[in-house]
């Protein structure tokens, strides 16, 4: 194996964290902002790119960092290495309510396509890059945009998604239509495209958007019940409605016009 063989356990129910157990010399790479805690002998190092290989040379590392920049991520990642003589642990936390999904890339043909903000952490040696969608319509109208993340290698990787996670195994030719924001990850054998919602009334008044993702098997897909964008929209809508301190007020924000509270 090229990737480090790490052990792990997932802790919690709705706000989960993943605890990675590292043998001496083993490392895990993670996105900035996901770190929670670590034991004394763990050493942190900011690295250029994803740290998938130490033998890429400067241009190879520059290319890897540039790919990450296209997905909207930072040029840098953080490497956590066990510099001690015994087993040490480091933990990474979910950014919002949902589930952490462990993916063994050695059992998934070495590649997973996922939302660009789904990746949490992975064993050193796993590559995190970009995956261009083959069909232009997917890029223009897909909720995840033209570029998605590609996670490659033969080690463990961890992705995070909101709400309940559903894993579906699609048979050859089997089709599944989903909301574009609910798609978390898929294996490379799944064909992914964007389809327009048929019917003018359904498109304009259905409340579900004009497009959905069409997934065609064979392969495996992971779906989330609560995309972060959907949760954020609900929070913004609620904050506009409950403009007063008293959230139960029938008048809501309208009461501020009468009591002079402009905050």
- Cis peptide upstream of residue 218 (ω within 30 degrees of 0): yes
- Whether 228 and 217 have beta carbons less than 8 Å apart is answered as no
Residue 215 lies in a domain: yes
Q: What is the band of 63 on the pLDDT scale with cuts at 50, 70, 90? A: low
Buried b (16+ CB within 10 A) or exposed e, 105-131: beebeeebbbbbbbbbbbbbbbbbbbb
Out of 75-79, 104-108, 176-180, 201-205, the most confident range is 104-108
Q: What is the band of 50 on the pLDDT scale with cuts at 50, 70, 90? A: low
Ramachandran angles phi, psi of 56, nearest 5°: -75, -25
Beta strands in the chain (DSSP E): 7-11, 17-22, 27-30, 35-38, 42-48, 76-82, 88-93, 98-104, 111-114, 119-123, 127-132, 147-152, 156-162, 165-170, 175-178, 183-187, 191-196, 211-216, 219-224
Residue 262 lies in a domain: no
Q: Which pLDDT value is given to residue 192? A: 87
d(CA 61, CA 64): 5
- Whether 138 and 196 have beta carbons less than 8 Å apart is answered as no
Average pLDDT, the chain: 79
Share of the chain above pLDDT 90, in %: 45
Residue 260 lies in a domain: no
Q: Which pLDDT value is given to residue 143? A: 47
- Whether 177 and 212 have beta carbons less than 8 Å apart is answered as yes
Helix (H, G, I), strand (E, B) or coil at 159: strand
Q: Which residue has the higher pLDDT, 91 or 207?
A: 91
Q: How many CB atoms lie within 10 A of CB 31?
A: 22
Q: What is the band of 216 on the pLDDT scale with cuts at 50, 70, 90? A: very high
Residue 172 lies in a domain: yes
Q: Which pLDDT value is given to residue 236? A: 78
If one counts the domains in the chain, the total is: 1
Residue 15 lies in a domain: yes
CATH code, 119:
3.60.160.10
Residue 250 lies in a domain: no
Q: What is the band of 168 on the pLDDT scale with cuts at 50, 70, 90? A: very high
Q: Which residues contact 136 (CB under 8 A, 6 or more apart)?
A: none
Model confidence at 219: pLDDT above 60: yes
For the residues 239-246, what does the mean pLDDT come to? 62
Model confidence at 28: pLDDT above 70: yes
Q: What is the band of 70 on the pLDDT scale with cuts at 50, 70, 90? A: low
Residue 114 lies in a domain: yes
d(CA 155, CA 143): 28
Out of 210-214, 247-251, 253-257, the most confident range is 210-214
Please state, in angstroms and as integers, the Cα–Cα distance from residue 146 to each residue in 71, 134, 175, 229, following that order. 10, 9, 21, 17
Residue 36 lies in a domain: yes
In sequence order, which ranges of 115-163 are alpha helices (DSSP H)? 136-141
| Domain assignment of residue 110, given as a range | 7-245
Q: Which pLDDT value is given to residue 238? A: 75
């Amino acid at each position: 194996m090229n990737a480090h063989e790490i052990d792990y356990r997932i802790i919690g129910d709705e706000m989960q964290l993943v605890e990675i157990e590292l043998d001496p010399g083993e490392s895990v790479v993670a996105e900035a902002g996901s770190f929670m805690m670590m034991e004394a002998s763990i050493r942190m190092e900011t690295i250029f790119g994803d740290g998938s290989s130490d033998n890429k040379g400067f241009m190879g590392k520059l290319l890897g960092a540039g790919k990450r920049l296209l997905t909207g991520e930072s040029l840098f990642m953080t490497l956590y290495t066990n510099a001690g003589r015994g087993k040490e642990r480091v933990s990474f936390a979910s950014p919002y309510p949902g589930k952490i999904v462990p993916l063994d890339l050695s059992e998934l043909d070495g590649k997973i396509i996922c939302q660009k903000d789904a990746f949490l952490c992975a064993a050193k040696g796993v590559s995190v890059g970009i995956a261009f969608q083959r069909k232009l319509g997917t890029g223009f109208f897909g909720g995840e945009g033209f570029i998605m993340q590609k996670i490659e290698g033969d080690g463990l990787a961890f992705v995070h998604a909101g709400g309940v996670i559903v894993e579906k195994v699609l048979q050859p030719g089997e089709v599944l239509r989903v909301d574009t924001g609910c798609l978390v990850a898929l294996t490379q054998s799944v064909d992914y495209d964007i389809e327009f919602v048929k019917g003018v009334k359904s498109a304009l008044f259905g409340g579900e958007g004009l497009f959905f993702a069409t997934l065609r098997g064979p392969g495996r897909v992971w779906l989330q019940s609560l995309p972060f964008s959907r949760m954020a929209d609900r929070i913004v809508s609620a904050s506009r409605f409950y403009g007063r301190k008293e959230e139960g007020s029938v008048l809501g924000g309208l009461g501020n016009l009468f009591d002079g509270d402009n905050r």
